[in-house]
Structure 1
Amino acid sequence: MSGNAYDVIIIGSGPGGYVTAIRSAQLGFKTAVVEREHMGGICSNWGCIPTKALLRSADVYHNMQHAKDFGLSAETIGFDAQAVVKRSRGVAGQMNGGVGYLMKKNKVDIIWGEATLTKPGEIKVEAPKRKAYEPQAPVPKTVKGHGTYSAKHIIVATGARPRVLPGLEPDKDSIWTYFEAMVPAEMPKSLVVMGSGAIGIEFASFYNTMGVDVTVVEMMSTIMPVEDPEISAHAKKQMEKQGIKFVLDAKVSKVVKGAGQITATIETKDGKKQDITADKLISAVGVVGNVENLGLETLGIKTERGCIVTDDFSRTNVPGIYAIGDVAGPPMLAHKAEHEGVICIEKIAGEDVHPMKRDQIPGCTYCNPQVASVGLTEQRAKDAGYEVRVGRFPFMGNGKAIALGEPEGLVKTVFDKKTGQLLGAHMVGAEVTELIQGFVISMGLETTEEELMHTVFPHPTISETMKESVLDAYGRALNI
């Protein structure tokens, strides 16, 4: 095999791409990954990880402000916006370097540039065609450059970017995407957030905690529309107590830019309009797959709604070409991309693998309070024809939550009344993003209510709310 010939080439080094590359190397394939901008992709550099660093700073700041509640004293409380951003960017840099280290450790070649599919089994790598958000990350010391490369299997893992609405195009000044929202030179005094999905709500939560006047505009009748409405309503109530304002069943129809401010025209579904003036506006109306300039049309690879069409094992309609992660469609989550990539490469290797169970992919939103869920909501379970049992348990009945000063939370479980199958679990409150995996594992093992009821949960932990919710579904809750 020549120096430019591989068994597997992966286009993109985000969570899906780099994890697939590692598994590919473990399976004995000669593997390369093509990257045009940042090792680790958006997640490590501009998404999942650095946003959590910002939110951690906000959490600490929030706790400092409420030190008196814990019998503590904290005076002259404040923050340095640039230092908060610097810490976040430092965390991103550490992740970036870590991915490069993993490539070297697993003997995965890095090809630096932008790839185009020229024919099945071949790509051409050139200098990036689009301008990076910031100066291109330092090129790793040992990389391959521009040229033509071949591989029997080519996996597209190019990720996604913020969706742009006509007339509301981000300008990096007054109208931000998550890129600009992550690196403010200073904190704005007021902010409009357009969209209440995970990205919008996380930034609304961060900026509100840092003292910014935040208004969230959402087209649907509930915030975080993919979540169970009961959980969304609980989260909304807590966020409103914190000072976030919500305008639902509405859209931003126009933005007028002024001297250091914007005026957003908010139009409700019944046609009523109001103007809101703020320093900045964050556009968080979803993402679209990076399908451009890949040569998909040349090879006749099917796309739909801005994403590559694949089967259960990430195969496109062209043999030898695969797609994983955000570019292959929703749910657009890093952990979905990682597992999708592992299934894809193990299928290529001839291993006995099963398609991913998409109804068992958890979703997490790291706002305050946190929200996490897996499986069907109560209404979707009923719509699917199930007769359900529903359990609920509030954090107020949990000793650990009260001791932590986090009594506002709720765990909701949905069971099939006939079989005891766990159909869905929905949580809002402190650290629920760390708890949801317990329900994910239970669903994967096809656990029924009986096993969950007889599982011994450690005390005192917030996780006890999970068991109590199950007990409540069957009229057996003990602590409420």
Structure 2
Amino acid sequence: MAPKSFDMIVIGAGPGGYVAAIRGAQLGLNVAIVEREHMGGICLNWGCIPTKAMLRSSEVFHLMHRAKEFGLKATGIEYDLDAVVKRSRAVAKQLNGGVAHLMKKNKVTVFMGAATLPAKGKVTVTTDKGTEELTAPNIILATGARARELPGLEADGDLVWTYKHALVPPRMPKKLLVIGSGAIGIEFASFYNTLCCETTVVEVMDRILPVEDAEISAFAKKSFQKQGMTILEKAGVKQLDRGKGTVTAHIEQGGKVTKHTFDTVISAVGIVGNTENLGLEALGVTVDRTHVVTDEYCRTGVEGLYAIGDIAGAPWLAHKASHEGSMVAELIAGGHPHPVKPESIAGCTYCHPQIASVGLTEAKAKDAGLKIKVGRFPFMGNGKAIALGEPEGMIKTIFDAGTGELLGAHMIGAEVTELIQGYVVGRQLETTEEDLMNTVFPHPTLSEMMHESVLDAYDRVVHI
């Protein structure tokens, strides 16, 4: 049977792949997409979306306990873990169906199966019904990543979980150990801790949330400890002894190993790219520590072969993958898109309190030899935050002292994952401190703190 020909084939239907396919179709390309598991990829089915649904449940549970503060009465407050999970899965299912609909709407040909690249411009798809041979001058790798498993700390789905197990828990943990304090680890720690599970977080680096600004990390640590979490920094789990219903963790900190017993462990120690069994090495693709090496336009060095999203390295964020997908589709269609700038991509963590950031941390700006001006504003000084009953948090902005360029912004507190976009747009438009100072922010809003933080960097702050 003759191979089916396309202008562009996308391998992987996560937030990078499906967006690339839609943009390619919009530009008049004949597009195929290959997906081995589920439309929407990990993000939509087992990551960003269902975790936010679960975190929303824990947030509402937390607020119900605070009812009295707001002049309300709520008694007998409980949660139903099965129902929380059911809602989360329903949200994921709805969006999964939405992606399938978008493929149909945009006339993208979908192949459900595992892809390999036997030669340049060729893709073999192994489906339930056999194999399909496809050809295209342009192929986009968007195969994503999976949880990293450390020797001895492998997940078993019973006592030791990955993020997938944590999203469909077989039971409610009573005493939980979370290994790793990046976004995934902290979000699960926050969810289970809020639902009254005794939670310990172990981080090998010298502070939790190590990619965030040090001041934000310190604020978060204090907040989590106030909520009853145990935080162990500069610590590592050396081994896990699995018993019947319990796990004994050997935790090393300061050269001393101590044993701690838990009923559940969540391993969140990073991710590895899905680069295996594709045939990349034979094509001459460079793979470095499970990630495909690309240039700023996501080109792999093999003509007509691109890699986007998690498989192409940090930052491992869905919105970065989507933007890269759009950019590559435009490139293939003959356009001249701007390359994606990693330093202009915001990171968001949906723990309680929320954390969001974009650009350089204070330490990184100083390490780069830049002279900087730093402004801060606390939630406690904002009328809307007080009215919401959310006085805990801060916004920090970093400017180049000479040019007024906004180098970075870092936030912790209620709804900061929504606020950060103001600074992202500012950076995209190459805003200066003067532009931000001259902008009229609406009152009463949390966004006013962004204005005040800028004013503070230049000794003009009003409300503190």
TM-score under structure 1 normalisation?
A: 0.95
Say whether residues 1:172 and 2:157 are aligned partners: yes
Q: Is the CA contact (8 Å cut-off) linking 1:111 and 1:146 kept in structure 2?
A: no
Q: Matched residues in 1 for 2:146 and 2:311: separation?
A: 10
Deviation (angstroms), 1:146 = 3.0
Cα 1:470–1:145 shift into 2, 3 Å: farther
Correspondence for 1:141: none
Write out aligned runs for 1:59-138 (5 A).
59-127=59-127
Quick one: which of 229, 232, 243 aligns to 1:247? 232
State how many pairs are aligned. Answer: 463
Quick one: which of 410, 420, 424 aligns to 2:408? 424
Quick one: which of 381, 387, 412 aligns to 2:371? 387
**Secondary structure, in 3 states, of the residue corresponding to 1:311?**
coil
Q: Matched residues in 2 for 1:348 and 1:125: separation?
A: 22
Q: Matched residues in 1 for 2:284 and 2:430: separation?
A: 40
Structure 1 residues 356-412: Cα deviation after superposition (integer angstroms, max 9, x where no partner): 111101000000000000000111001111100000000000000000000000000
Say whether residues 1:237 and 2:222 are aligned partners: yes
Correspondence for 1:215: 200
Q: Matched residues in 2 for 1:39 and 1:409: separation?
A: 37
What is the identity, as a one-letter code, of the residue corresponding to 2:72?
A: L
Q: Matched residues in 2 for 1:222 and 1:159: separation?
A: 27
What is the identity, as a one-letter code, of the residue corresponding to 2:52?
A: K
What is the identity, as a one-letter code, of the residue corresponding to 1:204?
A: A
Q: Matched residues in 2 for 1:439 and 1:220: separation?
A: 28
Correspondence for 1:16: 16
Say whether residues 1:308 and 2:287 are aligned partners: no
Say whether residues 1:335 and 2:319 are aligned partners: yes
Structure 1 residues 402-461: Cα deviation after superposition (integer angstroms, max 9, x where no partner): 000000000000000001000000000000000000000001111000010010101000
Say whether residues 1:345 and 2:345 are aligned partners: no
**Secondary structure, in 3 states, of the residue corresponding to 2:136?**
strand
In structure 1, stretches of 5+ residues that fail to align are 129-143
Q: Matched residues in 1 for 2:88 and 2:311: separation?
A: 26
Q: Matched residues in 2 for 1:327 and 1:294: separation?
A: 12
Correspondence for 1:410: 394
Q: Matched residues in 1 for 2:161 and 2:171: separation?
A: 14
Q: Matched residues in 1 for 2:387 and 2:435: separation?
A: 28
Q: Matched residues in 2 for 1:474 and 1:254: separation?
A: 50
What is the identity, as a one-letter code, of the residue corresponding to 2:227?
A: Q
Deviation (angstroms), 1:317 = 1.6
Correspondence for 1:133: none
Deviation (angstroms), 1:236 = 1.0
Correspondence for 1:283: 267
**Secondary structure, in 3 states, of the residue corresponding to 1:146?**
strand
Q: Is the CA contact (8 Å cut-off) linking 2:3 and 2:135 kept in structure 1?
A: no
Say whether residues 1:323 and 2:310 are aligned partners: no
Quick one: which of 351, 367, 371 aligns to 1:367? 351
Cα 1:423–1:145 shift into 2, 3 Å: farther
Quick one: which of 249, 262, 278 aligns to 2:247? 262
Quick one: which of 422, 425, 442 aligns to 2:426? 442
**Secondary structure, in 3 states, of the residue corresponding to 2:348?**
strand
Quick one: which of 264, 270, 273 aligns to 2:257? 273
Correspondence for 1:138: none
Deviation (angstroms), 1:127 = 3.9
Q: Is the CA contact (8 Å cut-off) linking 2:16 and 2:323 kept in structure 1?
A: yes
Q: Is the CA contact (8 Å cut-off) linking 1:266 and 1:273 kept in structure 2?
A: yes
Correspondence for 1:139: none
Correspondence for 2:437: 453
**Secondary structure, in 3 states, of the residue corresponding to 2:7?**
strand
What is the identity, as a one-letter code, of the residue corresponding to 1:194?
A: I
Structure 1 residues 135-176: Cα deviation after superposition (integer angstroms, max 9, x where no partner): xxxxxxxxx973111111010000000001011111111110
TM-score under structure 2 normalisation?
A: 0.99
What is the identity, as a one-letter code, of the residue corresponding to 1:417?
A: A
Structure 1 residues 310-348: Cα deviation after superposition (integer angstroms, max 9, x where no partner): 111111121011110000111110000001111111111
What is the identity, as a one-letter code, of the residue corresponding to 1:210?
A: L
**Secondary structure, in 3 states, of the residue corresponding to 1:119?**
coil
Identity of aligned residues (%): 63
